[in-house]
């Protein structure tokens, strides 16, 4: 008896080696665009602006210096190692922010299940004090 396509077990699709890299770069472009829409018009990705900044764990740069933060973006499944990444950077610890886009494997693709910002507690207190007081 011949099996139909729906009855056959389909092999899992393998993602190319560049899949994660493209996904991460697209995420950097998206967050840069969102920050520009918020009014930080000088935000660009470090890949387009400075290899040295990119190597320094800084994915976004503010060419107008209105946003005094070092921003690292991660688009990964597992919780990023915030402290390790921060220590590998020369950015002041209190000004280092990690934006994490948590990924989850679905049947075919890897999809976002949410985003979070990880930062130093002193920076968090500084921000809420300015916002709420």
Q: What is the average pLDDT value for the chain, to the nearest integer? A: 87
Output helix, strand, coil percentages for the chain, rounded to the nearest 5.
Answer: 35, 25, 40
Please calculate the CA angle 38-44-46 and round it to the nearest 5 degrees. 140
The strand order across the sheet containing 60-62 reads 43-45, 60-62, 70-74, 96-105, 110-119
- 91-124 pLDDT, tens digit each: 888 999 999 999 999 887 889 999 999 999 999 9
Query: Residue 27: its pLDDT value, please?
Result: 95
């Amino acid at each position: 008896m011949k099996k139909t396509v729906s009855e056959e077990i389909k092999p899992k699709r393998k993602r190319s080696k560049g899949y994660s890299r493209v996904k991460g770069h697209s995420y950097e472009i998206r967050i840069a665009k969102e920050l520009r829409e918020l009014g930080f018009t000088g935000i660009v990705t470090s890949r387009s602006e400075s290899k040295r900044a990119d190597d320094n764990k800084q994915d976004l740069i503010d060419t107008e210096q209105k946003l005094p933060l070092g921003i690292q973006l991660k688009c990964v499944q597992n919780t990023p190692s915030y402290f390790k990444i921060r220590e590998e950077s020369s950015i002041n610890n209190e000004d280092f922010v990690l934006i994490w886009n948590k990924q989850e494997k679905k049947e075919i693709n890897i999809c976002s299940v949410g985003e979070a910002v990880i930062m130093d507690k002193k920076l968090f207190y500084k921000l809420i004090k300015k916002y709420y007081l």
